[in-house]
Structure 1
Amino acid sequence: MNRRLHALRTATALFTTLALPGAALAASEDISPEVLTAMQRDLGLTAEQARQRLETEALTVHTERTLRGELGTSFGGAWLNETGDRLVVGVTTAAGEQAARRAGAEPRWVTRTERELDALKEALDRGADVASKDIHGWYVDLPTNSVVVLARDAAVVNAERFVAESGAADTAVRVVISQEKPRPFYDLRGGDAYYINGNTRCSIGFPVAGGFVTAGHCGGVNSSTQGHNGAGQGTVRGSSFPNNDYAWVQVNGNWASQPWVYNYAGGNVIVAGSAEAGINASVCRSGSTTGWRCGVIQAKNVTVNYDVGPVYGLTRSNACAAGGDSGGSFISGNQAQGVTSGGSGDCNTGGTTYFQPVNEILSVYGLSLTTNGGSGGREIVGLAGKCIDVDHSNTANGTAIQLWDCNGSNAQKWTFHGDGTLRAFGKCMDVTWGSTANGALIQLHDCTGNPAQQFVLSGAGDLVNPQANKCVDVSEWNSNNGTRLQIWECAGTANQKWYLR
């Protein structure tokens, strides 16, 4: 790498930071038209506004993660503004304010850090068993720097007593009058209907290797399931409700997992991964009763106090739902978010819906999300129109990853998996020795879960290893066949730009 190019990369590093999202959102042309149409209908956006919002949301994920690490215990949380075009970061110090501005975010001074708010919410969680059923839930509300307790108008005194007895009495905890009465949506491709023990109807969340994930309240372990067509489908192998609301179903050989969520308009929305979207990010859901509906993410780590007991760690959205939608898919752009738990209202009167985050389900049961790279993979094309290639199709650990003429071989077919890895021949793209240094070479290796095997393709075309916060780079701008790939500080240059084909 010559000195002039290195200087260019250093000078441009600040301006490329915001183009390194943690969400693996595909290029804008890969955004499903069904997603855009539903966002226009439910969020009142034009097609261009919806597209721009999705791209902005993808870009802010990396910025939030960076600032969270930089500000540490002084971090006051992060959320998108109401129009979804800017990241707002809660700050409690002058240094935090400066860091937020440098990152391109809007700093907002807050009284309490995110950690302090979480501690108040955790105190309420510990007292959940004594919360009366007219107290409907509680959550940290980052934009108002408070903890919200939802209760019926006749239950304010009970709610205040609950707050006090939980040890969470603080001016940051506020009781909000709410007529919501969240309930599991029992009436029951993602979003398709399925049936439990031949009667209860729920909705599929997301296909995984060997089955699908859904809501825990839909059925207990060893319950049998039937598909939307009435054919025998599978068996519930894991289920948790209340406390959690998740389950997974192992299907028989007649059912194949596909990386799709049904949009109830005759098409499928592609699932590319499961990067978690932020507060105020747009989100759409699919379910067998109300179909395809969109809204925004309003709060995370919400405790919902159902009649049968509390469920912790849910995400709150204003995307409407109704009975039978339980278990169905929540997706932001092309990133899986979670499975529908319950809510209040319906799609005629509006209401609130809660979902169980999907990454927790995948982690608990050791499942692999089915994504759009799951069958055959795709070429990743870069400098001089050449492809990322596994040297001589060798599957041994340590095999070089290089640039080569695109030839359609399996050595150039790559799959983005739900765990953030990028795979060929069932093995992972890997930074040698887990290095974060400029010039560390890229190789093929057994998948281990190491952060050195995490890669994100941004909407700007940067293929980033988040651990190093550096880009996959063609060494010395050499476009000859066999040139090794490495990681290097992201500069937005042509030898770091990649696209899927």
Structure 2
Amino acid sequence: MDRRRMTAIGVVVAAAGLTAAVTLPSFAGENAAPRAGGPAGASATGGVAPEVLDAMSRDLSLSREQAVRRLAAERRATGTLNRLRAELGAAYGGGWLSADGATLTVALADPAQAARVRAAGAVPKEVDRGVRELDAVKGRLDSAGGRATPDIAGWYVDVATNSVVVLAKPGAEEAGRRFAAATGAPAGAVRVTASTESPRPLFDVRGGDAYFINNAGRCSVGFSVVGGFVTAGHCGRPGDRTTGANRVAQGTFAASSFPGDDWAFVQVNNQWTPQGVVNDFNGGTVPVNGSTEAPVGASICRSGSTTGTRCGVVQAKNATVNYPEGTVTGLTRTNVCAEPGDSGGAWLSGDQAQGVTSGGSGDCTAGGITFFQPVNEILQRNNLTLVTAESRSAPAEPPAGGEATAPPATAAPTAPPATAAPTAPPAGDSPVCTGDVSRSGAIAAGRSQAQPDGRWFVADGGAQSACLDAPAGAQLVLELQRWTGTSFRTVARTATADGVAKLEAEASPGTYRYRLTALSGSGQYTLTFSAS
């Protein structure tokens, strides 16, 4: 969220002609790799940002091709698990991926359902307890969490061993067993394991971009939502004020929960624009395109302001951590490292938001364990809408009914002074492209940008035309996209030939933007367009 403040302008197309008005985003483009199913060339990375693949290659010892295949297999496994969970009901004992991500195993408390699991392409494993029973056992421990001693680091549901694992410091295993027994949990359902973990909230540093609380403590931004961003609850309390990494006033904690949970919502002021991307700490960003939850065993990457981007795998869900400040339940456990200041930062599986950093044990020198608060719970509990790479330039929050309507007239930005309008080229200059509105920018291979100015314009319908003067030697795709009420959808597309792309379309009334994607090459471009 460390953004540079830029001048506001925009475009509104009306029957009377073209006038300008919009707010510039904090950076010019979406900085997102083309998604699968998009322009030619996007399939090379399976629609996944190269930065994510590079981080997976580094931390999971995978080639880019292996990372792409693994993410594809994990997406299929996620769909299979969602379907089987609904079909198997109480017999469902959870599912997990093998170490290489190639095999999906599904636990069954009813062996008669094994054929259904095999038919879905997974390997069945007979167990004594369904995941609902395991969650109930863990719920007993959660209720007694206040009586857990400091020797107990936490507990979580481990579907692979069909048990609830209690983590106790070496030599304190008996204390862990007494704690579990006192809750009335069945002895066979609880497994006490020695662990040197000492989880603590990561107060001091970033998760995405860094931000500061009351000009003192530092945490990291999790994910952009409409009106602000989500982060860790231990970072601040309602009313606490935040500043960005640039020390510019940013917002206020509007809601926070810790301990018990570890989430917060920071409402930002009008100087900050939430974007559907995550800082990759390598000079770019990666897109966020949804929040589908990844299964146990799936690869996952974390972004934080102290240690940058780090990757590993999901080890368990519904974990409870006994922090010094109190017990937090419902966390996801990973083998990804983190350090103070990474708190609140973003967790991604591919391009899907997973959660915000809570705390952990260890560090990024020796390695460690880190927990995150699932993002979907934060969104649901606070009635928040995730900002994605596809929707972040949306003209308005989607209507409650999901109706594909343009934003109301009252939401339209006002026109700037006449001096802000595009000017005609000097006499004697013959530009390659002409039009009523002209915008220029810089773009690099594998990146996308939205114009005008990362925003949108409203058209009454009829003919729309655009001309793109691309950087020398670059191959660009130009798309006209219409707001459907939930996202922007492409209605016309063209590609550059001899450095120029021209697009013409008959369009219905609505809200539009142009999207530029660089397949190769980089440099300065100029886009001009008109609408009747």
Q: TM-score under structure 2 normalisation?
A: 0.67
Q: Distance in 1 between matches of 2:261 and 2:130?
A: 26
Q: Distance in 2 between matches of 1:345 and 1:35?
A: 23
From 101, 108, 130, the equivalent of 1:113 is 130
- Which amino acid in 1 is paired with 2:380? S
From 330, 339, 342, the equivalent of 1:325 is 342
- Which amino acid in 1 is paired with 2:256? S
Which is higher, the Rg of structure 1 or of structure 2?
2
Q: Does 1:133 align with 2:150?
A: yes
From 482, 499, 504, the equivalent of 1:413 is 482
Question: CA 1:79 to 1:26, structure 2 compared with 1: closer, same or farther past 3 Å?
Answer: farther
Q: Distance in 2 between matches of 1:160 and 1:45?
A: 40
What corresponds to 2:474 in structure 1?
Answer: none
Q: Deviations over 1:427-457 (max 9, x none)?
A: xxxxxxxxxxxxxxxxxxxxxxxxxxxxxxx
Indicate conservation of the 8 Å contact 2:277/2:286, yes or no.
yes
Structure 2: 5+ residue stretches without partners: 1-34, 38-44, 395-402, 409-461, 467-478, 490-505, 508-515, 518-532
Structure 2 counterpart SS, 1:52: helix
What corresponds to 1:143 in structure 2?
Answer: 160
- Which amino acid in 2 is paired with 1:374? S
Q: TM-score under structure 1 normalisation?
A: 0.71
Q: Does 1:89 align with 2:158?
A: no
Question: CA 1:213 to 1:393, structure 2 compared with 1: closer, same or farther past 3 Å?
Answer: closer
What corresponds to 1:347 in structure 2?
Answer: 364
From 51, 73, 78, the equivalent of 1:34 is 51
Q: Distance in 2 between matches of 1:228 and 1:412?
A: 33
Comparing both chains, which one has the higher relative contact order based on Cα–Cα distances under 8 Å and sequence gaps of 6 or more? Answer: 2
> 1:267: how far off?
1.0
Q: Does 1:260 align with 2:329?
A: no
Alignment of 1:50-65 (within 5 A): 50-65=67-82
Taking only the aligned residue pairs, the percentage that are identical comes to: 52
Indicate conservation of the 8 Å contact 2:404/2:486, yes or no.
no
Alignment of 1:392-471 (within 5 A): 413-414=482-483, 422-423=486-487
What corresponds to 2:326 in structure 1?
Answer: 309
What corresponds to 1:400 in structure 2?
Answer: none
What corresponds to 2:381 in structure 1?
Answer: 364
Q: Distance in 2 between matches of 1:174 and 1:89?
A: 20
Q: Distance in 2 between matches of 1:112 and 1:363?
A: 29
- Which amino acid in 2 is paired with 1:232? A
Q: Distance in 1 between matches of 2:85 and 2:483?
A: 31
- Which amino acid in 1 is paired with 2:253? V
What corresponds to 1:163 in structure 2?
Answer: 180
Q: Does 1:75 align with 2:92?
A: yes
Q: Deviations over 1:76-125 (max 9, x none)?
A: 11111121112211123343100011111111122221112111111111
Aligned length: 380
Structure 1: 5+ residue stretches without partners: 1-24, 378-389, 396-404, 416-420, 426-480, 483-499
From 308, 314, 332, the equivalent of 1:297 is 314
Indicate conservation of the 8 Å contact 2:206/2:341, yes or no.
no
| Greater helix fraction, Structure 1 or Structure 2 | 1
Question: CA 1:176 to 1:411, structure 2 compared with 1: closer, same or farther past 3 Å?
Answer: same
Indicate conservation of the 8 Å contact 1:393/1:411, yes or no.
no
Q: Distance in 2 between matches of 1:225 and 1:181?
A: 28
What corresponds to 1:240 in structure 2?
Answer: 257
Structure 2 counterpart SS, 1:63: helix
Structure 2 counterpart SS, 1:144: coil
> 1:69: how far off?
1.3
Q: Distance in 2 between matches of 1:170 and 1:38?
A: 41
Indicate conservation of the 8 Å contact 1:300/1:313, yes or no.
yes
What corresponds to 1:435 in structure 2?
Answer: none
> 1:369: how far off?
0.7
Question: CA 1:298 to 1:408, structure 2 compared with 1: closer, same or farther past 3 Å?
Answer: farther
Indicate conservation of the 8 Å contact 1:189/1:262, yes or no.
no
- Which amino acid in 2 is paired with 1:413? R
> 1:234: how far off?
0.6
> 1:407: how far off?
7.4
Q: Distance in 2 between matches of 1:106 and 1:406?
A: 55
What corresponds to 2:230 in structure 1?
Answer: 213
Q: Deviations over 1:124-158 (max 9, x none)?
A: 11111111011000011011111100010121121
Q: Distance in 2 between matches of 1:65 and 1:59?
A: 10
What corresponds to 2:302 in structure 1?
Answer: 285
- Which amino acid in 2 is paired with 1:300? K
Indicate conservation of the 8 Å contact 2:49/2:287, yes or no.
yes
